[in-house]
Every structure is written in C-alpha cells, then in structure tokens.
Amino acid sequence: MKKKWLVAISGIVLTFGLAACAKTVATTSGGKITESEYYSSMKKTSSGKQVLQQMILNKVLEKEYGSKVSDKKVNEQYNTYKKQYGSSFDSVLAQNDMTKSSFKQEIRSNLLLKEAVKDNTKITNKQLKAQWKEYEPKVTVAHILVSKKSTAEDIINKLKEDGSYANFKKLAKKYSTDSSTKNDGGKLAAFDNTDTSLDSTFKKAALGLKQGSFTTEPVKTEY
C-alpha cells in the first residue's frame, strides 16, 4: 500500500466509567457498603484519572471474574430494567447518553463488582499499577489525508494561524482525500493503544497528542 501524508488533531478523550449506584453490595457490622462508596475509595486523584481508574478497575474485575458473569445474567437484568421503564426505556437511555449496548456493559460491570465483593478478594495495588501502565483510554482524533508532503505542510501552517477545530474541519473538507471522513471534519472512530487495525505510526502520533492539539509535522503512514 502506498504511503500517504496526514495531519491529525486530537479530540475528545472517550472513557467508560461506571455510574454511581446506591445498591447495597455488602453489609458489615459497621453498616452497609454501596457500589458508589466502593468506587469512591478509588477516587483519590483528579477527575480525569478518576474515570481512568474506574476503567482499570473494571479490566481487573473482568480478568478475575469475567467467567462468572454470563450474558444470560446481563440480559436478565437488562430486561428487568426495560420492563420497569416500559415505553420510556429508550428515552431514559438517551437522556443518560447511553445506548442499549453501553447500558448492558454497565450492567456487566456492576455484576463483576458484586462478584468481587462476594468473593471478598482484594484487588491489589500491583494489579492496578500493571493495568495502568499497559492501558491508555480511548481517544477520538480527526485527520486530513493527502498524497503530498508539501500539501500536509501547507495545511499545518494554516492550522498554526488558526488551530480551532472549526478551521480544521474546513481544511479537512477542502483537502482530505479520505472520502469517508472529510465531510465529517476528518473524524475517525474512537480507539486505544490495543487497537491492531491502525497503522502503528499513525497510532503513536495520535496517542501522543493533547486534546485540541495537532501534529506540527506531517505523519507518513499507510492509510
């Protein structure tokens, strides 16, 4: 495949966090422990890292207890909620910016947590640190794909004059040769560092960007 030049700009960091829940997962002599309280014990960093820690915790839970949470259990609880909300179920999901798929994932995450509490097994700092090093949250980036390095450099100079995403979208529509994304501001599907479908050079450049920034040098990649 012929290599092409592209400019990438970072967008919104997409992470999946469990919603706070008041359901009791354990009862002790000192009182009840809710799911939200359990997660609160993990939240001792800035807001961005809080969400990431939730994701990391979920990955550890999946590894330890994934085999104990079947699709059948998830669907049973999903159908219970669906029946409870009746005809307003879809609108409730929409109000919470959730899809049916993401809601099922949240149900699964809560069931994994219950298995962990039931098993009374502590998730060690060593496990969390290992996941922290290996995992990076999903990101959404936009790109402008061109065939010549000189064109990419011209686009970068235009972005240096006006680095807003609004301007990036205009440039993508005008210059990008990627017909599938150019009319949507060059926006690509969210991905993380575990995605093997992307060119490694592109992925490295994209994950190295800060939100709202763009590559100041053209990236040569197979795309």
Q: Which residues contact 116 (CB under 8 A, 6 or more apart)?
A: 61, 64, 65, 123
> What pLDDT is recorded for position 212?
78
3-state secondary structure of 219: strand
> What pLDDT is recorded for position 76?
94
pLDDT in tens, 88-100: 888 888 877 889 9
Say which range, 62-76, 179-193, 194-208, has the weakest mean pLDDT. Answer: 194-208
> What pLDDT is recorded for position 24?
52
pLDDT in tens, 167-179: 899 999 999 988 9
> What pLDDT is recorded for position 5?
65
- Asked if pLDDT for residue 140 goes beyond 50, the answer is yes
| Residue 56 DSSP one-character state | H
Which letter, b or e, does each residue of 78-96 get, where b requires 16 or more Cβ atoms within 10 Å of its Cβ? beeebeeeeeebeeebeee
> What pLDDT is recorded for position 133?
62
N-terminal to C-terminal alpha carbon distance within the chain: 8
- Asked if pLDDT for residue 162 goes beyond 50, the answer is yes
Cα dihedral: 10, 11, 17, 22 (round 10): 150
Rounded to whole angstroms, the Cα distance separating 136 from 49 reads 11
Instruction: With cut-offs at 50, 70 and 90, classify the pLDDT of residue 21.
Output: very low
Neighbours of 200 (CB within 10 A): 10
4-14+137-221 CATH choice from 3.10.50.40, 3.40.250.10, 3.90.79.10, 3.30.70.20: 3.10.50.40
Q: Which residues contact 128 (CB under 8 A, 6 or more apart)?
A: 53, 56, 57, 60
Closest by CA to 137, choosing from 12, 6, 7, is 12
Rounded to whole angstroms, the Cα distance separating 6 from 30 reads 59
| Structure-model confidence comparison of residues 116 and 71, the more confident one | 71
Q: What is the largest CA-CA distance in the chain?
A: 70
pLDDT > 90 in the chain, percent: 12
Rounded to whole angstroms, the Cα distance separating 84 from 89 reads 8
pLDDT in tens, 27-73: 444 455 555 554 554 444 445 456 666 677 777 888 888 899 999 99
Rounded to whole angstroms, the Cα distance separating 165 from 100 reads 30
- Asked if pLDDT for residue 111 goes beyond 50, the answer is yes
> What pLDDT is recorded for position 16?
30
Average pLDDT, the chain: 75
What is the domain partition of the chain in residue ranges?
Answer: 4-14+137-221, 24-134
Mean pLDDT of 126-138: 66
